[in-house]
Structure formats: structure tokens, C-alpha cells
Structure 1
């Protein structure tokens, strides 16, 4: 199989580089300065074992790739806010022998949140979801860092909306050869919703810095409790903390790279790169949506969604809102709901 990595950033670049290292055929899809760096210097992947450079085909879209192959796997690794544009670009691309990508090829949603799988099912027949547990960083064009050891990441994989098949198992086998653990599960959404609860802290980290001090940890606990209340009200199952710990164990331990700790997660990285967008609508915003549908107030997640979008839109510095100020805003938001 050939892997076409649509969005060769932190997660996509890491998976693409590791697959290439394992001898799999890989094409990277990127844009702007990152694409230029990939073409000129190759993909530089820094992991605890050292840095490697992979000279891989790099394109800005399907027009540069031409006809797709029947053994291609499309790996969608863009942020969720860019999903529809990617589906528009790739769905109608012809596949050798007849048919289109949307009709014939597997599309693997290697993304945070739960929305991309639903969006993809509107266009593609064969959609696979992944619960992404992969600490990685992309802030410099052409360079991706993945600090996990001894495994680079754990990627629970299954069909959307549920089930497994031989394609999922073949992809998982390739990932296993590439320093990942990739359990094939019939209920991948249950793992994705569990990861969603953890990702509710992404916006907090993006606007106020690491969730490390007592104030930040306490606020995140309140934000997560809102999320759990919403999922419970909606009747949506999710893997519990003990089950997640048992699955992960000590398989992915962060090792400082380049003598420095990892800067922050995906939302923090979006602000650092100045992309102008952030995925909060599909993380905290997913909880806000479900809360409105099921009558559960979500003032804290709504606040983080609004703040993260404002920071991205106005190109504010990551982590520039003091935690104490964010806690004050959170308290005010909860009081307004109680008073209302």
C-alpha cells in the first residue's frame, strides 16, 4: 500500500516519516513554506533515537500527483476545520482502473475530535477513525519532532462508525512496523470521545500556557467535568481512565528533544505558527454543541472556545493570558449561568 499523507504536520509528518523508515511508500501533502522545505531539504523527523531526513514525494494537492492507485490509502491529518476543503479536493480524484477516491479508497481520519469521521462519511464510502495518542510538534517548516519512547504513539483504529475489516488490520500492521501500537477496535468512537475529554485542555494550554500549576489543573478538572456531564447526558460511551491507563502504560514516555521539553499541544502549535485558525470549535465546541442539544450548560467550554478562536483570529501570542485572569473569567461565566 502507498500512504498519501494529507497534512504532513506534527501528526501526519510523524506517521509519514515513521512509515517511510519502515520501508512503506509515502507521499506527503503540504503547503506554503512547509511544502517548500520538504521539497528542498526533505522531511526532518526528530525522535529520541536521533534525527533522520526522508526525501519523499511532496505535493500541494491531487493535481500534482495525478491519477491515484488502487492500493493507495488516504490519511487525512489536517486540522478538523480544514477537513471539508480536503474532502472536496480529493474525493473526485480518479483511481487507476476506474472509479474515484471517494468510491474506492480507504480514508483514515488521523485527527483529534469526532467530527471529521462524520464529515468524511458524507463523501467517502470507506472511512476509518483513529484515536490519536501521539505527542508531536510542528512549529518549524520541514521539521517534525516526536518525543515518545519506546513507542512513538498509540493509534486505536477502526471503521467509522463502527466495526473492523482486513484493511484496518493491514494498516495497523504497517503502523506496528513503524514504532506505533495500533489496536484494531470495533468501537473506535469510544476511544475518540475519551481522547476528546483530554483535548478539552488544548484551548486552556493555548491561551494560558501549560496545564501545570494548581490553578490551571483545577480549572481543567472543571472543564473536563462539564464534558463528562454532557457525554453522560447524551448517552455517549467513552473509555474510562483505568482502561486508558491499562492500554497506554509506560509505552509512550516523553523524552526531551534538542535539550528542551515539548512546547505544547496541537492548539498551542497553531497559535505559535500563526495559522489564523484553531480546532477549538471541534473540541470544546463539540461539548458546547452536545450540551445545547441535551440541555446541559457548558459555560467553561464555551468560554475556552471563544477565547481560543479570538487568539487565533487576532494572532495573539500563545499562553499570553495569565491563568488567574482565565480563572476569573471562568468563575464569571459560571455565575452568569447560575443567575440566568
Structure 2
């Protein structure tokens, strides 16, 4: 397959590199120092599953330079989705399909504002990976999986071809006949992990061991389930409890990428995570007080530029 990776960060960089190493025709669309490093030194993956260095990387600066492609991985941050989707219009008009492996549940709704619904494949990624330094992707843990599928549940030629390419590359891959439900299932956990680690400023281990923060984590995830069910998604009534049990299996030191961004003073995906739950809840008349409070608490940091660390002396006592 001819695949373009729009956003060569942790997710796009990792999976794109694995696909390229296995023989897929991959073009990375990147920018800044990361793009410069990829052009000069290639792309390196550091992973417990085996390191990888691509020395001859196809990398361009814009979608217009990507040429003819069959499929685009959308892996930019959520705030870039509108601009990124508009940049893909010429590629889609020439026959490309688009699969978003971004966070959140509103991503494909945004894509449909600019691109034909038939061009969009639903997708979910499961991986912990970040840009360690320009040109280097650092993968933590053993999980690296992509799940994708048509919104009508069909097993199309394009999702079958993508699954074959992923499996050839050693990537865990599955085709789902209910991709919207899987996107929401990941969202339930992601909102809980991102909101709580960022608001509490602690790892998942500390949160799950404290009775009050553990209960709050469950409440946060239950609100997401309630909103999803109000939108007609077939989530189990006890799915939040299932995700809480899953949290008990995670390394105690695990934090969310949003908490990592908070610590570094980066922009946050908050409006699409806890903030997105609160907005959807308001539109659907579903109460979401816990997510609303988390969104309000973190709002001073949402645009980046500030860290969660104190910046002035404590008041005298």
C-alpha cells in the first residue's frame, strides 16, 4: 500500500516506521526539527520489541507533496484536525482513504465536515510512544496495536489490505465490525486516565490506591459511558467498572500523555477529552459534573505555556 503518515509523532512515527521497514511505501508528512532530523539522519525507533532505524526516509513538509497515496494515517494532535483534514481534500479527490488514529470520539465527525464519509475508516491505536528527540521515537511497553474498520461493519478490500500490511510488519492489527463502539471504549479509559492523572498530578498507581481518588476515577469514566449510551453507542452498563479493573493491571508509574504535556507546558487535548465529555453531556442533557470540574481545573493550562509547577513563592504564614 502507498501510505501517507500525517503527523510523524509517537503514534504515526512508530507505526509508519514498522510498515516502511516491512516494505510498504510510506511517506511521512512532518514539520520542524523532527522533519529536519528525519531528512538528515533518518528515523529511529527505540522499543522493547526491537530497535529500528530507517536511513532513507520519505518525508515531506505538506500533504500536497505526498503524491499519489492509497491511505492516509491521521495522527496529528486533535487541535490540528480541521487544518489537516482540509489539506487532504486533493488526496481524497484522487482516491485516497483516511483513517484517524487520534484520541477522542469527535475526530471523525470533524473529518466528515471536509471529506466524504465514504473515504473515512474508523480507527483506534493502542501504544505508549513519544518523540524522545527529533528523529527518534521511544516506545514504552509491549503494547502496539491498531484496530480499524468500516463504519457500516463491512470487511472491505481496503481494511483487509491494511490489516495484511500491519501483520507483515509485526504490528498487532484487527478489523472491527463495530468500530464506533471500540472508539468509545478506548475513550472511556482515556478520559479517566488523562483527566485524573493531570488533575491529581499523580500516576495511576497513587490514584487507584487512594479510596477517594479511586472512586472519583470511576465516576469520571461512568459519566463517559452515560454520554456514549445517550448517543446510541452500545456500551455495557458496567463498562466503567471493567475499565477500573483494567487500571489495576497497569504499571503503578503510568501517567497519561496529557499529564506529560502538562508537566512540559505543552498544549493539552483537554477540550476533546474531559472537556469534550462535558460539552457532549450538555448537548445531550446528561450530567457530567466530574468531567466538567476537571476541565475547569485544567483550563488555565489548556493552551500551553505554563507548567503545573509553582512559579512564585508560597504566601507567608
TM-score range, shorter chain: 0.7 to 0.9
1:132 aligns with 2:125: yes
CA distance in 2, matches of 1:4, 1:135: 21
Partner residue of 1:265 out of 246, 256, 261: 256
The offset of 1:193, in angstroms, is 0.3
The offset of 1:79, in angstroms, is 1.5
- Equivalent position of 1:144 in the other structure: 137
Query: 8 Å contact 2:181–2:234 — kept in the other structure?
Result: yes
Alignment of 1:273-284 (within 5 A): 274-275=265-266, 277-284=267-274
Query: 8 Å contact 2:4–2:28 — kept in the other structure?
Result: yes
CA 171–52 in structure 1, closer or farther in 2 if over 3 Å, else same: same
Alignment root-mean-square deviation, CA: 2.8
Alignment of 1:35-114 (within 5 A): 35-55=35-55, 56-65=57-66, 68-69=67-68, 71-92=69-90, 100-102=91-93, 104-114=95-105
The offset of 1:241, in angstroms, is 5.2
CA distance in 2, matches of 1:294, 1:48: 43
1:159 aligns with 2:147: no
Query: 8 Å contact 1:108–1:127 — kept in the other structure?
Result: yes
- Equivalent position of 1:96 in the other structure: none
The offset of 1:5, in angstroms, is 0.4
CA distance in 2, matches of 1:193, 1:13: 24
- Equivalent position of 2:227 in the other structure: 230
Query: 8 Å contact 2:104–2:187 — kept in the other structure?
Result: yes
Deviating above 4 A after TM superposition, structure 1's stretches of 4 or more consecutive aligned residues are 239-242
The offset of 1:273, in angstroms, is 5.3
CA 29–272 in structure 1, closer or farther in 2 if over 3 Å, else same: farther
1:315 aligns with 2:305: yes
Query: 8 Å contact 2:44–2:53 — kept in the other structure?
Result: yes
1:203 aligns with 2:195: yes
What SS does the aligned partner of 1:313 have? Answer: coil
What SS does the aligned partner of 1:197 have? Answer: helix
Q: Which runs of 5+ in 2 are unaligned?
A: 311-317
The offset of 1:226, in angstroms, is 1.7
The offset of 1:18, in angstroms, is 1.0
Query: 8 Å contact 2:203–2:253 — kept in the other structure?
Result: no
Write the deviation string for residues 63-104 of structure 1: whole angstroms up to 9, x where unpaired: 444xx22x4311100122111110112212xxxxxxx52462
- Equivalent position of 2:168 in the other structure: 177
- Equivalent position of 1:334 in the other structure: none
Q: Which is worse superposed, 285-294 or 18-27?
A: 285-294
CA distance in 2, matches of 1:161, 1:84: 24
The offset of 1:230, in angstroms, is 2.4
Q: Which runs of 5+ in 1 are unaligned?
A: 93-99, 255-260, 322-340
CA 289–103 in structure 1, closer or farther in 2 if over 3 Å, else same: farther
Q: Which is worse superposed, 233-242 or 283-292?
A: 233-242
Q: What TM-score do the two structures reach when normalised by structure 1?
A: 0.77
